[in-house]
């Protein structure tokens, strides 16, 4: 099984879309192994977006992600990173495939509702930023055999 980080961003929280987004992830078959609502500090945002330091959009990213509470999740599945990314849709909602979270619920790249790690190394790094090992719960879901072969 693979784990990845999902951040339900400030615009989704403010718009009351947290439940719908979580529902879509769970209906897809992803298992939540950690979840919390939090206010991201500027320090944590700087670590999370560190790869973008020096880019013209960096400061806007930090201001946005710290502007309101978020909901962070660790989810687990076979190919969890790919499954999450495909469920979320393209970064620009206008280019996202119909049926994805961003295509169905967002309009602009700067208000695209949700973040998902883009690879195994990024997922491990990001999960470590937002969750301590004791916050991630390994558990057996009764429906797993109906989701995974």
**Helices 80-88/120-130 angle, 10° precision:** 80
Which residue out of 48, 52, 115, 148 is catalytically annotated?
115
The single-letter DSSP state of residue 57 is T
| Per-residue CA distances from 27 to 137, 139, 149 (Å) | 19, 18, 17
Quickly count: other Cβ atoms within 10 Å of residue 115's Cβ: 19
115 a catalytic residue: yes
Distance CA 60, CA 139 (A): 38
| Per-residue CA distances from 77 to 25, 32, 80, 83, 94 (Å) | 11, 9, 5, 8, 28
User: Which residues are known catalytic residues?
Assistant: 115
């Amino acid at each position: 099984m693979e784990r990845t980080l999902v951040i339900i961003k400030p615009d989704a929280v403010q718009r009351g879309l947290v439940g719908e987004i979580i529902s879509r992830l769970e209906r897809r078959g992803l298992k939540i192994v950690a979840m919390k609502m939090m206010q991201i500090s500027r320090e944590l945002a700087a670590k999370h977006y560190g790869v973008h330091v020096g880019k013209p959009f960096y400061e806007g990213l930090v201001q946005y992600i710290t502007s309101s509470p978020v909901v962070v999740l660790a989810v687990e599945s076979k190919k969890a990173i790919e499954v999450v990314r495909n469920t979320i849709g393209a970064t620009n909602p206008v280019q996202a495939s119909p049926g994805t979270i961003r295509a169905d619920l967002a309009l602009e790249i700067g208000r695209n509702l949700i973040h998902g790690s883009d690879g195994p190394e990024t997922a491990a790094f990001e999960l470590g930023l937002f969750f301590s090992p004791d916050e991630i719960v390994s558990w057996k879901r009764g429906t797993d055999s109906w989701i995974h072969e």
